[in-house]
Structure 1
Amino acid sequence: MLFGSSAVFPDLELVHYSEQFGQVPQTQILFGQGTVKIRIVNHGKLPTDPMTVSVSDFNVLMRQVGPPASVAKLKPDGSVEVTFKMDMVIPPPKSQLGQQQQFDDWKAQYASSHGVDLRGQMKWSGPPASTPMNDRREVRFYTGYGDSTACQEGSHTIGNSPPEKADCDADVCVTVDAVRRSIHQRLDCRVVGYAAFISGPGKAGEFATYGKARTSANGPVVDFTANTKITVASVSKAVTALAAIKSLAKKNVSLDAPIGPHLPKDWMVDPHVAAITFAELLAQKSGIRDYGNTTLDYAKLKTFFTQKVNPNAPTNCNLPSVIDPKDAIVSDPVDRTKYCYSNYNFAIFRILLPMVEGFQDTDPAQRAERLAAKYVKIVQANVFEPVGLKNVDCKPPMGSKSHALAYAFPGNAAGHDWGDNTLQCGADGWYLSVDDISRVLISLNRKDEKVLTDTQFKEMISRGLGWDLTGVGRYQYVEKNGKWSWGSTSVSTSILIFGPTSPGPAFLGVLFTNSDVVPEGIGAATVLQDAFLSAARSMP
């Protein structure tokens, strides 16, 4: 048999996908159906070959009803539309409860799979004697929950998928393309805008972006890019931790040293507060039980850290909704070092780092402003400038009309501008782009010691300084996330180092979004972690 030249396939575009679920009238029979219409279009300069086209759901939630569609040759710019019917794939029964239990199991699988993953399969159907080597082609054209929207239709196909190669470090293999695709599938047309960064071990990495940093509701439309500045909320804690580790080392101050000598001299500090160490603050194990979900300016920090510690203070961690609880610092030596998330633990570094570096209190009336300005310079000098970044700040760039605003999806209403956060920066408030923080993570991952030495970075990881998560299940990783909300608007951010950092290098991930994610209502951390976990496998 002689094989012909390469097949000429068209593109597949989604016209519309819809789902229908219900119960057959006057029966107990439940049903689930889907209807998908696709456009088969020739964007090339040559006629396409004859073929058959079928649709499958990679998540095995829906199954095509009926045979493939036969498509004749298409001239350049020619197109044809085809409609397919699909039925839900009912799981096998687990009990005597019958179809209702099966239906509930299907819905649970639907939710855990984040909806359907529809793909079109094209199979060459010309004369057998001329069969080409590439006689099949697959195109992903819809992933998600429920009916497709206009944003997901037309030319918004996810695209053809070349073979994917996994990258491996010392412990785990990850298909980076699958991570990127997962983020696109989860977020495209479901948030106002985002930027992401994904990198394999020792690789330069790649960016993925979608949507708008600013919509027409706030004047000229601005695309969300890898260089878009956005307030990163609590990802700022990782930034503060990096600066603290490096600054303390330069001044020969131990992470396990007490903070008392480095607080303003006119603060009347309880001995239990003075004994808190820098490491305890950075690890969220300081005995502070107030979440601190409020503006932590200088006056607020002074009031909190000069309170009298009650030896009988309750040991429970307060929820974010509890504002200014009484007796929010625990003195018991065992309870004091239990993990309890608090913004106070990091906001106080806006005071501590300048004091450690010899702040001269020559103008007490302007102490708050001068301490904040000094803190910003310390972070710039220790974290951002070593990797070539200038003027990274706790406020938008001067005169900026392009930094991301916070929106409620789909961004039809005006977004919220968080403005200048300098006087409350530390636990939150930094304005970063995905490119900014990716450069810092790349430096840490390469162990070039521009930001931290290898020993310092290992200690940061092992002690959980500045991170939220340190390893889940069979995979080791650290992650820091943040979210700020104003009314119905929100921003959500996450940075991730996936895989062992020693000997390393590991995988890196960054994701910043400027709205809620519909319909799931999840944040950047969930999207980023799920993307890596679903694309990972252990080394054999």
Structure 2
Amino acid sequence: MTQRFRNSALILCLGLALADCRKSNDEVVAPAQPQTWFDFFGKALNDSLKAKKVGYGFVILENGELRASGSGGLKSRASEPEGEKAFTLDTKIHIASMSKTIATMAFLHLAAEKGIKTTDKILPYLPPDWAKGENIDRITFRDLMTHRSGIIGLGNNCVNGAFTENIWLGFKQLIQQGVKTANRGNYCYQNANFGLFRVLIPGILSYQFTGNDNTDDLQTQQRFMDYVQKNVFEKVGIRNVVANQPPGDPTYSYSYPYTGIVGWNPGSFANVVGAYGWHLTTSEAGKLYATVLSTTDQSVLTTAWKDTLFNNRLGTFAGTTPDGPIQYHDGWWFLKLAQYQGVRTVWMRFPNNVMAVLMVNALHHSRGYFPSDDGTDIVTYLARAYTLTRQMKTGRQQAGEWKLEHTEPH
């Protein structure tokens, strides 16, 4: 083994801040056969994550082809009614705000069908009986998909709303409240911006709103989910996706380090699906995001619409690495009582059509972020792992630095 390889391995361990990656150079075993940098990328993630004893899964794809993957830990511990069950690449998990990119895909697919532009106004597709507050007539689809609509929540303080602002009556209140002119065009991350597509997509599909809140609520839920199923998931070969845990087989959320507290099962998200709520396996998520966003496949989005998505940051965020630009969207869902329990998820598109998806079912017990020991959150963790693994390939530190847009959890 060369000294350069030993040094590269050590740099990777230190750079990733992996708590249990403390092997000496003498313990590094030379591979039996040549390995690609994808193998090292996967090994670095596996070595770090399995030491944490949390449920996790990741896939790394190039041009839609699987290059590396890993999973480990538990989706259900012995303390749960279902007993101890392993977390695998086929474990369904709530992908949280990674769902926002799916809502974007669905809308852009429909926009292409209907001749709608992202700069068109949303007003014609809202329920006609909803009272429209100040400036609602100025909001465009692009405003929603970039969090620049002016919607800042029912508390008027840009605190992201989760449940109450993403049910039917919550949307109705937000539209009635309107948005202040001073807030128009300013970035304010709000689930409701994407949750509203659950109402808007049925409206574009000519659903005739009845004015009965219960009827319209249930009808828009079903019509939105049906459209996404047929025009996003099934287009890439994924079937029967729901916004709920598999019956009798939930994936629980835990705290890190594990303290023995029973896991959290948040249940169904069917009545709030849109900004969050979809449940996918790691393999399914990798297939979806890689096929749509990092291959030439145009079954969901044409090349032109993909360019529109990336260039305008629609349902995505951006960043740079020494290798070039990246795009991503992370997800975060939690319960905080005595400590944090929840999920942390991310898809990230790297240069050269490399797509990585990483999902874990535990949060740091006091910080509430990715279960790291040094405070590194999931977006930074994955981007750093990529950068340092690429450095291992070249044997030298690459010029430039990585920067991430909106590194706060979403």
TM-score (norm 1): 0.63
Q: Corresponding residue for 2:395?
A: none
Paired residues of 2:16 and 2:384 also in contact (CA < 8 A): no
Aligned partner of 1:390 in structure 2 is: 239
User: Tell me, what secondary structure is at the counterpart of 1:491?
Assistant: strand
Shift of 1:202: 5.4
Paired AA for residue 288 in structure 1: I
Provide the rounded CA distance (Å) in 1 between the counterparts of 2:8 and 2:390: 21
By how many angstroms is 1:459 displaced?
1.1
1:405 has 2:252 as partner: yes
Q: Which whole-Å CA distance do the structure 1 matches of 2:201 and 2:170 have between them?
A: 18
Q: Supply the AA of the counterpart residue of 1:495.
A: W
Q: Secondary structure at the match of 2:271?
A: helix
Tell me the alpha carbon deviations over residues 248-297 of structure 1, each in whole angstroms, 9 at most, x when there is no partner. Answer: 22122111100011100001213511211101111122222333333121
Evaluate the alpha carbon distance shift between residue 292 and residue 214 of structure 1 in structure 2; reply closer, same or farther with a 3 A threshold.
same
Quote how far apart the aligned CAs of 1:424 are: 1.0
2:117 & 2:215 partners in 1: Cα distance?
Answer: 29
Q: Which amino acid aligns with 2:170?
A: K
Give the length in aligned residue pairs.
366
Secondary structure of the corresponding residue to residue 427 of structure 1 = coil
Matching residue of 1:475: 324
1:530 to 381, 384, 389: 384
Query: Which amino acid is the alignment partner of residue 536 of structure 1?
Result: R
> Where does residue 492 of structure 1 map in the other structure?
344
Following superposition, the deviation at residue 113 of structure 1 comes to 4.1
Q: 1:56 to 1:362 in 2, by over 3 A?
A: closer
Residue identity matched to 2:267: G
Letter of the 1:481 partner, please give it: D
Q: Name the structure 2 match of 1:455.
A: 304
The higher radius of gyration belongs to 1
Which one-letter code corresponds to 2:172 in the other structure? Answer: K
- Amino-acid identity (%): 24
Q: 1:337 and 1:60, CA in 2 relative to 1: closer, same or farther beyond 3 A?
A: closer
Quote the residue 2:209 is aligned against: 361
CA contact (8 A) 2:64 2:291 kept: no
Contact 1:291 1:342 in 2 (8 A): yes
Q: Deviations over 1:510-536 (max 9, x none)?
A: 001000214235443233222112122
CA distance in 1, matches of 2:174, 2:322: 37
Q: TM-score, normalised by structure 2?
A: 0.82
Name the SS for the 2:22 alignment partner: strand
Could you list the per-position Cα deviations for residues 191-245 of structure 1 after superposition, in whole angstroms to 9, with x for gaps in the alignment?
4210000123453333211111111111321111111111111111111111111
Encode CA deviations 1:166-202: one digit per residue, 9 max, x unaligned: 5xxxxxxxx2122112211221121421000012345
The alpha carbon displacement at 1:436 in A equals 1.4
Secondary structure, in 3 states, of the residue corresponding to 1:279? helix
Going from structure 1 to structure 2, the CA distance change for 1:113 and 1:245 (only over 3 Å counts) comes to same
Query: 2:102 aligned with 1:239, yes or no?
Result: yes
In the alignment, which of 174, 181, 200 is matched to residue 331 of structure 1?
181
Q: 2:358 pairs with 505, 511, 518, which one?
A: 511
Aligned positions of 1:367-378 closer than 5 A: 367-378=216-227
Contact 1:58 1:117 survives alignment (8 Å): no
Does the 8 Å contact 2:63/2:354 carry over to 1?
A: yes
State the Cα RMSD in Å. 2.6
Matched, 1:291 2:159: yes
Equivalent residue for 2:47? 185
The one-letter code of the counterpart of 1:273 is: I
Residue type at the aligned position of 1:117: R
2:26 corresponds to which of 121, 138, 145: 121
Q: SS of the counterpart of 1:369?
A: helix
- Give the 3-state SS of the residue equivalent to 1:306 in structure 2: helix
Inter-partner Cα distance in structure 1 for 2:127 and 2:215: 14
In 2, Cα distance between the equivalents of 1:251 and 1:271?
A: 28
Could you say what secondary structure the match of 1:457 adopts?
helix
Looking at structure 2, the residues matched to 524 and 112 of structure 1 have their Cα atoms a distance apart, in angstroms, of 11
Q: How does 1:86-485 map to 2 (within 5 A)?
A: 113-114=17-18, 117-119=22-24, 121=26, 138-139=28-29, 161-162=31-32, 165-166=35-36, 175-201=37-63, 203-219=65-81, 220-270=83-133, 272-289=135-152, 290-295=158-163, 296-308=166-178, 329-332=179-182, 336-362=184-210, 364=212, 365-397=214-246, 399-401=247-249, 403-409=250-256, 410=258, 412-444=260-292, 445-472=294-321, 475-485=324-334
The CA deviation at 1:412 is 2.7
Measured in 2, the distance between the counterparts of 1:176 and 1:111 equals 17
Is the 1:56–1:119 contact (alpha carbons within 8 Å) kept by the matching residues of 2?
no
* 2:160 alignment partner AA: G
Q: Deviations over 1:381-411 (max 9, x none)?
A: 12101111111011123x231x311111326
* CA distance in 2: counterparts of 1:471 and 1:458, whole angstroms: 17
Aligned-pair CA distance for 1:299: 0.5
Q: Following the alignment from structure 1 to structure 2, what is the Cα–Cα distance between the partners of residues 486 and 120? A: 41
Q: In 2, distance between residues paired with 1:297 and 1:184?
A: 38
CA contact (8 A) 1:406 1:489 kept: yes
- Which residues of structure 1 form unaligned runs of 5+? 1-54, 62-108, 123-137, 140-159, 167-174, 309-328, 500-504
Aligned amino acid, residue 331 of structure 1: T
Letter in 1 for 2:334: S
Alpha-carbon contact 1:407-1:490 (below 8 Å) kept: yes
Q: Distance in 1 between matches of 2:235 and 2:9?
A: 45
Counterpart CA distance in 2 for 1:285 and 1:472 is 26
- Structure 2 counterpart of 1:252, which letter? G
The structure with the greater share of residues assigned to strand is: 1
Alpha-carbon spacing, 1:162–1:209, altered in 2? closer, same or farther (3 Å): same
Q: 2: CA distance between counterparts of 1:470 and 1:518? A: 21
Letter of the 1:187 partner, please give it: L
**Which position in structure 2 is the counterpart of 1:104?**
none
The one-letter code of the counterpart of 1:338 is: N
* Greater share of residues in helix: 2
Which structure is richer in relative contact order (CA contacts within 8 A, separation 6 or more)? 2
Match of 1:15 in 2: none
In structure 1, the residue corresponding to 2:184 is in which secondary structure? helix
